Chain A
Amino acid sequence: MKLAILGAGDVGRSVADLAGEYGHDVVALADSTTATVDADGIDIEGALERKAGGDALGSSDPADVFESEYDVLVEATPTTLGDAEPGFSHVERALEADRHVVLANKGPVAERYEELRALEADSAGSIRFEATVGGAIPVLSTIEDSTPQAVTAVRGVLNGTANFILTRMAAEGLDYEHVLAEAQDLGVAEADPTFDVDGTDAALKFVILANVLADGGFSLEDATVEGIQSIPGSALDLAAEDGRTIRLIGEATRDGVRVGPRLVPENGPLAVTGTRNIVQIETRNAGSLHSSGRGAGGPETATAVLSDVGRLPPL
Chain B
Amino acid sequence: MNARKQEVTAVSDDSAAEENAETDGGVRAYTVRLELVDEPGELLRALAPIADNGGNLLSIHHERGNMTPRGHIPVEVDLESPPDRFDGIVDALRDAGVNVIQAGAEHYGEEINVVLVGNIVEHDLSNTLSRIEDEANAVVRDLSLSAPNGTEAVSSARIRLAIDSGRSDAALEAIRSIGSDKELTVVEPLLGGDTA
Contacts and interface: CB of A to CB of B under 8 A. Distances in A.
8 contacts: A235-B146, A238-B156, A242-B160, A262-B188, A263-B115, A264-B189, A270-B195, A288-B195
A254 to B, nearest CB: 14
B187 interface: yes
A69 interface: no
A251 B189 CA distance: 13
B195 A263 contact: no
A232 B193 contact: no
A264 B195 contact: yes
Contacts of A242: 113, 158, 160
A287 B146 contact: no
Nearest to A287: B194
Contacts of B113: 239, 242, 244, 263
A235 B189 contact: no
B117 A263 contact: no
Given A262-B189, A263-B189, A235 B194 contact: no
Nearest to A265: B15
Contacts of A262: 187-190
Q: How large is the interface on B (under 10, 10 to 19, 20 to 34, 35 or more residues)?
A: 20 to 34
B92 interface: no
Contacts of A241: 144, 158
Contact of B188 (A238, A263, A288): A263
Nearest to B191: A262
Nearest to A242: B113
A193 interface: no
Interface residues of A, number: 32
Contacts of B155: 232, 234
A63 interface: no
B190 A155 contact: yes
A263 B189 CA distance: 4
Contact of B195 (A230, A239, A243, A269): A269
Contact of B117 (A231, A264, A282): A231
A155 B115 contact: no
Contacts of A260: 187-188
A249 interface: yes
Interface centre among A153, A155, A239, A288 (most CB of B within 10 A): A239
Interface in A219-263: 226, 230-235, 237-239, 241-244, 246, 249, 251, 260-263
A268 interface: yes
Interface string B165-196: 00000000000000000000101111011110
B12 to A, nearest CB: 13
B65 interface: no
Interface in B36-79: none
B178 to A, nearest CB: 16
Contacts of B118: 230
A269 B193 CA distance: 11
B147 interface: yes
B183 to A, nearest CB: 10
A211 interface: no
A105 interface: no
What 10 pairs across the A-B complex have the smallest Cβ distances? A234-B146, A238-B158, A235-B156, A234-B156, A263-B189, A262-B190, A230-B185, A282-B193, A265-B15, A288-B194
B139 interface: no
B51 to A, nearest CB: 20
Nearest to B115: A235
A249 B190 contact: yes
A161 interface: no
Contacts of B134: none
Nearest to A269: B195
B98 to A, nearest CB: 29
Interface string A269-284: 1100000000010100
A130 B146 CA distance: 42
Contacts of B194: 269, 280, 287-288
Q: Which of A230, A232, A241 has the most CB of B within 10 A?
A: A232
Given A242-B160, A262-B187, A288-B194, 6 more contacts: A232-B148, A238-B156, A244-B15, A251-B190, A262-B189, A269-B194
B103 interface: no
Contact of A234 (B148, B192, B193, B195): B148
A260 B146 CA distance: 21
Given A263-B187, A263-B188, A269-B194, A238 B115 contact: yes
A288 B195 CA distance: 10
A226 B185 contact: yes
Given A155-B192, A243-B15, A280-B195, A261 B187 contact: yes
Nearest to A281: B193
